Structure 1
Amino acid sequence: MTTLAPGRGDSTGTRSALAGLNPVAKLGASLVLALVLVLTIDWVSAGVALACELVLFLWAGLTLRVFLVRTALVWIAAPAAGLTTLLYGQAAGVVHWSFGLVLVTDGSIELAVATVLRVLAIGLPAVVLFITIDPTDLADGLGQVVKLPARFVLGGLAGLRMVGLFLDDWRALELARRARGIGDSGAIRRFFNQAFALLVLSIRRGSKLATAMEARGFGAPIQRTWARESTFGAREYGLMAIGLAIALLAVTVSVMTGHWNFVLA
């Protein structure tokens, strides 16, 4: 099986400051931030959280190139979401421009800014924390720290490590079709044909993997032992505390400035 990461504990290819932390702590810190920020749509709370996160990213051990490449989708999605909100968001205040269903007002502008900042504040730390997670370390943490069922954890780990084979299989299928003279025309038809072939190949490989794991005792109903101990110590609690502190600071500043906008209210 192939791995998703070139080095143990760090999928960036470099040793970052976050690589040695338990993946459960990384998931917990990003989840705390996300849960708090989705409760409100205002630019103050999202802006405060994003400012704190950008400062902390300097100590993540990631180069600027790695950071920009891995978070590229977030930087693209945030303005796209903001533009949609700007054009079709809730109308309030002075109308600046209107055309058909499009209505740009003071309210839609403020809501668009808040949407962009909130997407960045939620997405960037999640990506930064996730790219330093090794799948095996994550499985160890989920099984030993969170106490999830071993069969579920190991099955997920096996499936995750097989994802890296999809690209190789796709390339092999493409070369095979071209060698047979049927892969040089009809891009759309070729795509769907290859996708179906890849689906069949994946099902067959998954069935073989499931049989092999079952034969090796991975599905035994007894208490499972783990080859490596997954520890959760002071550093992990510190990361969780940092995530909680940023969330609380963002909420406090938003409430004190009168910008808190509870989405469920």
Structure 2
Amino acid sequence: MSLIAPPRGDRAIFRINPVAKLASALLLAGVLILTIDWVSAAVALACEFVLVFWAGLSLKSFVLRTLPVWIAAPTAGLTTLLYGQPAGAVYWAFGLVNVTEGSLELAIATTLRILAIGLPSVVLFVTVDPTDLADGLAQVVKLPARFVLGGLAGLRLVGLFLGDWRALELARRARGIADGGAGRRLLSQAFALLVLSIRRGSKLATAMEARGFGAPVQRTWARESTFRGREVALIGIGLAVALLAVGVSVALGSWNFVLT
């Protein structure tokens, strides 16, 4: 399976405009970034776990695709626990390490906040086709077509990039020049891949220019990108989750505005 191709499904989430998914994820992340408290993050995370089944991902696919988030969240929480600003009762101290009541609460809040921001973002973008996203950014958001199509072309080349890396590795091994130090081998192979990428990029740019990409006239699109009621509904769901998280946090007195 391609690393950039979304899984196919019949759920409505697969047919929603990617711009709405992007807006919903940014809206939720923007609200949660404003505070560091475990209540708002926990409420948002609980709502997201209810909604994630709507995305149509299998449990295996969900776990594999969100694995980096599951690793990053507790890692950040542990770092905050050990080296966060001391406050309240001291549970354990050794050198620069101070585990206190304040650092424990901050570590829990940090872990939950990363999960609450990262998991829905990954799930939403897993269901996005790069071409649909480019159509939406150009037709709905009105971004410059040259920028959008250039980004789409680069994203489509990710698979070729990985294939080139594996081919270079096998070719160098067959020629007997891959037995040196790991660092030197990595730098040498990375330089070879850079040269190959620049050549391919130049050829692609020339081909796109020859086909009229970037022409100073209003371009047409093969597929229309629509923004209808279901897209508004998804943004509304994201707003509702954000407002609910904020409301519960404020009501319980846990809201901790980071800009104050």
| TM-score (norm. length: structure 2) | 0.97
Summarize the Cα distance change of 1:97–1:3 in structure 2 as closer, same or farther, 3 Å threshold: closer
Deviation at 1:213, TM superposition (A): 0.5
C-alpha deviation, 1:244, in angstroms: 0.3
The change in CA–CA distance for 1:3 and 1:92 in structure 2 (over 3 A counts) is closer
CA contact (8 A) 1:12 1:66 kept: no
Task: Provide closer, same or farther for how the CA distance between residues 225 and 120 of structure 1 changes in structure 2, counting only shifts above 3 A.
Answer: same
Distance in 2, Cα, partners of 1:88 & 1:206: 45
Distance 1:223 1:156 in 2: 19
Q: Quickly say closer, same or farther: Cα 1:13–1:20, change in 2 above 3 A.
A: closer
1:148 pairs with 2:116: no
Which residue in 2 is equivalent to 1:200? 195
Q: Report how far residue 163 of structure 1 moved.
A: 1.1
Q: 1:253 aligns with which of 248, 252, 255?
A: 248
- Match of 2:162, SS? helix
Name the amino acid aligned to 1:206: G
Once the two structures are superposed, the pairs formed by residues 76-225 of structure 1 within 5 Å of their partners are: 76-225=71-220
Q: Which amino acid aligns with 1:4?
A: I
Identity percentage of aligned residues: 75
- For residues 97-143 of structure 1, the C-alpha deviation after alignment (integer angstroms, 9 at most, x for no partner) is 00111111110000000000000000000000011111100000000
User: CA separation in 2, counterparts of 1:100 and 1:184?
Assistant: 43
Bigger mean CA offset, 172-181 vs 24-33? 172-181
Cα 1:235–1:247 change in 2 (3 A) is: same
Tell me how far 1:24 sits from its aligned partner: 0.2
Stretches of structure 1 lacking an aligned partner (at least 5 in a row):
6-10
Alignment check: 8 A CA contact 1:43 1:114 kept: yes
CA offset digits 1:206-235 (Å, max 9, x no partner): 111011111111010111111100001011
RMSD: 1.2
Q: C-alpha separation between the residues in 1 aligned to 2:8 and 2:199?
A: 32
Q: CA deviation at 1:179?
A: 1.7
Tell me the residue number matched to 1:8.
none
Distance 1:67 1:78 in 2: 16
Greater helix fraction, Structure 1 or Structure 2 = 2
1:250 to 1:25, Cα distance in 2 relative to 1, 3 A: same
Equivalent in the alignment of 1:56: 51
Residue 58 of structure 1 aligns to a residue whose secondary structure is: helix
Structure 2's unaligned 5+ residue stretches are none
Structure 1 residue 75 corresponds to structure 2 residue 67: no
Please give the secondary structure, in 2, of the residue aligned with 1:222.
Answer: coil
